[in-house]
């Protein structure tokens, strides 16, 4: 177990980023040379097969290696476990994020739990924008907070925050979405800072359909974990209102107060509300 000191650990997950990793590391090191706090730069090579790890200068940077590809989230978790400082900043190895702004993010973290770099909307590929909009809108409704960027990979947070929710983090790309939702739904202090977003070097590892479906299920799962009534209560009210409408139509069309569908809708609505109340009680007792 590492002794935790005050300072900054920069963690860079890397999978087959041979064409960009050296330039990214030089950029980060140059930015941190102007910082007044202790720091370290940790590259987590996630089973690269293009020789990316061979380009890392072990005299300047700390290298953690996965023999096989374990996933983006697994790489970040490995980096945090090996980090020695109490502030953690994550960035990508593909050159998309403005790493020269790292010192600004270190200052912005004071008094907060997490600071997230919000990418401009135009930086998102057009084919991915509809799904991104749906996911962000749903997340904002469930979290009761505006979320300028749900899964930005350029952010700084306290080690305490990361470890608080570590049991929730998946092994894949959804780690950033998970920590965003967990932080917001638990009432922690989060700030969003607009950033530039550059074209990546190399090929994206994102799988649009699979990852979108994964993000959707993740959003629902995290909110059920922290605020289940946000899902159960509207669903219950929809079912009860539907039963009332069905009952009125039954009276007007069939001249009877209620039929089987009316009763079934109403009873289901009441049951959903009861389940939600029970889930909310369990959640509150766990906090």
Query: Could you give the strand order of the β-sheet that contains 155-158, starting from the edge strand earlier in sequence?
Result: 62-66, 39-46, 5-14, 85-90, 155-158, 114-118, 190-194
Residue 127's pLDDT is: 63
Annotate 95-125 with DSSP letters as a single string.
Answer: S-S-GGGHHHHHHHTTT-SEEEEEPPGGGS-
278 and 248 inside one domain: yes
Higher pLDDT, residue 70 or 229: 70
Burial 191-205 (b: 16+ CB within 10 A, else e): ebbebebeebbbeeb
- Residue 79's domain spans which residues? 5-226
Grade residue 253 by pLDDT with cuts at 50, 70 and 90.
confident
How confident is the model over 101-123, as pLDDT tens digits?
A: 999 999 999 999 999 999 987 55
Residue with tokens 């899964």: 151
Higher pLDDT, residue 211 or 42: 42
Residue 209's pLDDT is: 66
Q: Which of 226, 255, 274 is the last residue of a domain?
A: 226
91 and 68 inside one domain: yes
Q: Is the pTM of this model over 0.85?
A: no
Judged against a pLDDT cut of 90, whether residue 281 lies above it is answered with no
Of 31-45, 241-255, 262-276, which range is least confident?
241-255
Parallel, antiparallel, or unpaired for β 114-118 and 155-158?
A: antiparallel
Grade residue 143 by pLDDT with cuts at 50, 70 and 90.
confident
How confident is the model over 153-177, as pLDDT tens digits?
A: 999 999 999 999 998 898 877 899 9
**Contact assessment for residue 173 and residue 151, using Cβ atoms and an 8 Å cutoff:** yes
Structure tokens at 242: 């539907």
171 and 73 inside one domain: yes
| Number of independent structural domains in the chain | 2
Higher pLDDT, residue 90 or 36: 90
| Rounded mean pLDDT, 243-270 | 84
Residue 213's pLDDT is: 73
Grade residue 180 by pLDDT with cuts at 50, 70 and 90.
very high
Higher pLDDT, residue 282 or 116: 116
Judged against a pLDDT cut of 70, whether residue 238 lies above it is answered with yes
176 and 93 inside one domain: yes
Grade residue 205 by pLDDT with cuts at 50, 70 and 90.
low
Q: Which of 202, 226, 250 is the last residue of a domain?
A: 226
218 and 235 inside one domain: no
Residue 227's pLDDT is: 82
Residue 174's pLDDT is: 84
163 and 50 inside one domain: yes
How confident is the model over 7-26, as pLDDT tens digits?
A: 999 999 999 999 999 999 99
50 and 95 inside one domain: yes
How confident is the model over 55-81, as pLDDT tens digits?
A: 999 899 999 999 999 999 999 999 999
Parallel, antiparallel, or unpaired for β 39-46 and 5-14?
A: parallel
Higher pLDDT, residue 112 or 254: 112
281 and 201 inside one domain: no
Judged against a pLDDT cut of 70, whether residue 214 lies above it is answered with yes
């Amino acid at each position: 177990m590492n002794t935790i000191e005050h300072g900054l650990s920069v963690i860079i997950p890397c999978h087959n980023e041979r064409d960009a990793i050296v330039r990214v590391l030089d950029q980060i090191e140059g930015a941190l040379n102007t910082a007044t706090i202790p720091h370290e730069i940790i590259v987590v090579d996630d089973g690269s097969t293009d020789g990316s790890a061979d380009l890392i200068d072990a005299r300047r940077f700390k290298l953690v290696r996965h023999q096989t590809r374990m996933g983006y989230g697994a790489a970040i978790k490995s980096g945090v476990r090996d980090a020695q400082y109490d502030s953690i900043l994550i960035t990508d190895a593909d050159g998309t994020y403005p790493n020269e702004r790292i010192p600004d993010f270190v200052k912005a973290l004071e008094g907060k739990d997490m600071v997230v770099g919000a990418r401009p909307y135009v930086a998102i590929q057009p084919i991915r924008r509809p799904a991104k909009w749906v996911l962000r809108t749903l997340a904002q409704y469930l979290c009761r907070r505006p979320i300028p960027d749900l899964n930005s990979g350029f952010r700084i947070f306290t080690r305490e925050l990361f470890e608080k929710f570590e049991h929730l983090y998946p092994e894949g790309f959804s780690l950033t979405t998970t920590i965003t939702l967990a932080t917001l739904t638990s009432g922690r202090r989060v700030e969003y800072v607009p950033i530039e977003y550059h074209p990546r070097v190399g090929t994206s590892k994102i799988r649009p359909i699979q990852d979108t479906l994964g993000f959707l299920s993740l959003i629902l799962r995290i909110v059920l974990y922290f605020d289940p009534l946000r899902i159960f209560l509207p669903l219950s009210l929809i079912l009860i209102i539907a039963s009332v409408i069905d009952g009125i139509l039954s009276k007007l069309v069939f001249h009877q107060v209620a039929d089987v569908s009316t009763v079934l809708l109403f009873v289901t609505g009441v049951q959903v509300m009861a389940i939600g109340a029970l889930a909310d009680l369990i959640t509150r007792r766990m906090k």
